[in-house]
Structure 1
Amino acid sequence: MDEMIEFLHKGPLAPIKKWGTKWSIWPTHLVTACCGVELAHAFASGYDGERLGVLNFGMARQTNCIVVEGAITRKMARVLKMTYEQMPDPKFVIVMGVCGIKGGLFWNGYHMVKPFEVVPVKYFAPGCPPTPESLLRCFRALQDEIVTGEAKNTIVYPILRREEVEGEKKRKKRPKRVPPSPKYVAENPSVVVDIDRSEKWKEGEELRKQVSDILGELAKKVTITGRYRISARVEKDDFVEAGKRMLEAGFDHVKSVNVIDVPHENKFIVEYTVSSYLKPEFVRLLVTLVSEIDREDAMFPSMIEVWPSADYLERELHDLFGVWFDGNPWMGKNFLLAPDTPKNPLRKDFKLEPEVYVGGDGK
């Protein structure tokens, strides 16, 4: 018997403890994904989960149950563990959704953790998303276990066997394994990030010329890639100087920094998208400075002295791709990921968990 349930069944006050716990389950909910909506639905006026003696609560030290709503990442796993350890005994855990059972659509993600590997889970509400009824079934099953001490499934499906009739033609047996889906290997396409789409923004030609004049000889190619979007190719060694010229022209902040991994060409494409808050003619314009670096020597000059807002983004990309932004003091330190996260998980040569299908006999 689970030690928490065993505690409720011991001592002269056992009947009172069981009765009180059954009708006062106060879950603190860890909302990490869309399952939180289903929990809200279960306790709204349509289902009124509170009538079952279940009341959602906000503080871990006054609760006796956790409802894990969705995916748990490596970073969130620490929060789950800390929350569970702060709760007084007896305490229980219910997990909602397929993300909490086996990762859901993130099943092979580098960052996923199964909640039952972090804390002891009592009941699962399967589904994507699970229904309010399935969550309330979990609470009812927990209440029954508190009283009886016996854990039971809320639904048991009968096993139907087709009896063989003498003389009847036998059906072909199904294969034990699910056949794998066909896989096609195509040639790796060339990765082009500055395709000319000037026909979509013909009136932007004047702004394209302005960007080209600002960068001067540093720009190898300036292209309209969409409405209010311009791309400028710049060599790595000229990137800082190009950034300074853009800053002087009024492009005062970085919107985003991006790295594209192109292993079949042995390179990374590095992009800084900049814009302006103060110059009216540039406020709606996004200019992406593009450069390429060797994948085996992934070093790029940091732009934090030009645009301080690039700092956070450079740190993220260093963690995810391993690109070293020379001049950023955070290089070599873990910033975004949990300490046990695999190194550089967004590189395309990162090994993902393979697909495994099993038949009814577990093979």
Structure 2
Amino acid sequence: MTSSSYKRTILITGATDGIGKQTALDLAAHPDNLVIIHGRTEDKCIATKDWIGKENGNISNIDFVAADFAVLKEVAMMAEEVERRFPELNVLLCNAGVLYPRRMETKDGMESTFQVNYLAHYLLCNLLLPVLSHNRSNVIVVGSVLHTWPSLDWADVQAEKEYEKYLQYSRSKLMCHLMAFALHRRMNIARQHVNVNIIELGKEKEPNNNGRLRTTSALSSSMSTLSICRQAGNLAQLIEGSCLEKMSGKYLDPNGKQMRYDIGNLEVRTLSRIEEEGVSASDTIKESARMPPKIAPPVCSSLVFTNFDQISDGESSPKLMRSASETCRPTTQIIPRAAMRSVSVEKNNNNN
């Protein structure tokens, strides 16, 4: 069957483990869904596809794409592959996430948790917008209550000054939440048929009195199979139901009920356009994938906005960008120029 034969064409990032894997299993059980598994390697994807086939007795509605989110050029190539092979894509589930005990940097020069959890999803969403906006689509970001924990230091989003694994994970989830709201608003202004929502699956515990996390249900290595199945089942029901087709820009619990969002804790006041260096680098990677820039990632700046209405709606305005460069010196680049040059050069070499 072609992708147009299915009611839903669903791409799940991080679908070879945990909740992503179980959600893929649940969704693939229904023949009107085409489930696209994403994993870091082709071997992991094939193993997951075979496992789902054995569980469901059918693999005809399962496919996969492989990309290491720690390598931005692979994310760009994955987006091109998805657009080419699955033009009917209408559900993107942003689920992939990592938690590293020690600070590590990717080949692109980014802190690994920041890149894999947030930046790769930001890039993927941008590059898939032409496909998603062509279809009536849902973008779903798997959220975390831990996003409320950190007070985000916009000058150190890559944890160069201090690294604590749970704190950095929390920062990355906060960035994903802000990205989702910014994307929702931009799609709403552009009147694009793309709904963007955040779904909170677990009830992770807050830090204890000495500032350390006791346990987190969504992160703990001892997370039970029953808990994974229950959360994945809720997520699959929401994807297949009708409620997400009627709302956007919401923060939902596992049952699809809207949750209160504490704007103060989110530091939305500090959400801003990135500095000129970051914008230039971000544009470079989009050009390498032959896609126009659509949204700007919320990263680091000392500019303060009181609400989303004060954020530029379209391309970065020259006035705003001058203000950004004059107000704060770029202390953290969203994507280093050198990394983007490597993406562009390799991309061109592959095309030759």
* TM-score, length of structure 1 as denominator length: 0.28
Higher relative contact order (CA 8 A, sep 6+): 2
* TM-score, length of structure 2 as denominator length: 0.28
